[in-house]
Amino acid sequence: LMAVIPCACFFFFFVFVSLVYRTFKTLSSTVDVTLDPDTAHPRLILSEDRKQVKYGDKKQDLPDNPERIDWWPCVLGKEGFSSGRYYWEVQVGDKTDWRLGVARESMNRKECVTLNPTNGLWLIWLRNGNEYKALADPIVPLCLSVKPRKLGVYVDYEEGQVSFYNVEDKFCIYNFCGYNFTEKLFPFFWPGFCSSSLILSPVSPRN
């Protein structure tokens, strides 16, 4: 009997998590995110459809416009939002290095800053193939039993929440909550230094 109880608890917990996952996907507006080339670091290569990004071999000669991020090799989404709930998915595959999340419009794009909420960045991070971290203040190490290949990002602007999910098993990887958003937020993508791409993928069916 004692062996059955933990199994039952785990089953109901999994059902609960699945229901929560389906609920926020239903209530949120799924976003067809495209990458904004005007914000892309000169070392990044964007696909023609603005759905993929990877790190390039050399720095491109691009205009130094105010929107461009010059220090960190990252790019923002074209679509920003200042109210409501939003959800999108990113295919990371077997990449060993990436950072994903959201950035406020006024983030420092020209200088080296710490990547954390104080500086307007709500991100999770993979490096060295198996080191997952939430770039909170302080940094939070994440212990994941399953390596996610596709991530869901959920933003509730009014609630001050940014959540990250493993799309395949609907597991919540990390939840930033209780923030007071006061300006427009943009999807944030750092593809890492390997040659494979981060891919913006259509949102998976609500099942």
Task: Give the HSE-up count for residue 94: Cα atoms under 13 Å, Cβ half-sphere.
Answer: 1
Look at residue 107 and tell me if it is in a domain.
yes
Q: Is the pLDDT of residue 154 over 70?
A: yes
Q: Is the pLDDT of residue 1 over 60?
A: no
Q: Is the pLDDT of residue 103 over 60?
A: yes
| pLDDT value of residue 206 | 56
- pLDDT tens-digit series, residues 5-14: 443 333 333 4
φ, ψ dihedrals at 105, nearest 5°: -60, -35
Residue 172 domain boundaries = 4-201
Q: Which pTM does this prediction carry?
A: 0.85
Mean pLDDT of 182-197: 94
- pLDDT tens-digit series, residues 55-84: 998 889 888 899 999 989 999 999 999 999
d(Cα 185, Cα 76) in Å, to the nearest integer? 10
Helix and strand numbers (H, E) in the chain are 1, 14
Between β-strands 121-127 and 131-134, what pairing exists: parallel, antiparallel or unpaired? Answer: antiparallel
Secondary structure (DSSP) of 129-184 = TTEEEE--SS-EEE--SS--SEEEEEEETTTTEEEEEETTTTEEEEEE-S----S-
Total domain count for the chain?
Answer: 1
d(Cα 199, Cα 179) in Å, to the nearest integer? 28
CATH number at residue 177: 2.60.120.920
Look at residue 207 and tell me if it is in a domain.
no
Mean pLDDT of 167-191: 96
Mean pLDDT of 95-120: 95
Q: Is the pLDDT of residue 2 over 50?
A: no
Q: Is the pLDDT of residue 19 over 90?
A: no
Q: Are 66 and 36 in contact (CB under 8 A)?
A: no
Between β-strands 85-91 and 29-30, what pairing exists: parallel, antiparallel or unpaired? Answer: parallel
| pLDDT value of residue 182 | 96
Q: What is the dihedral of CA 80, 183, 166, 147, to 10 degrees?
A: 100
Q: Which of 41-50, 59-68, 159-168 has the lowest mean pLDDT?
A: 59-68
| pLDDT value of residue 195 | 80
pLDDT tier at 28 (50, 70, 90 boundaries)? low
| Mean per-residue pLDDT over the chain, rounded | 87
Look at residue 206 and tell me if it is in a domain.
no
d(Cα 114, Cα 78) in Å, to the nearest integer? 23
Look at residue 103 and tell me if it is in a domain.
yes
Look at residue 101 and tell me if it is in a domain.
yes
Look at residue 45 and tell me if it is in a domain.
yes
Look at residue 183 and tell me if it is in a domain.
yes
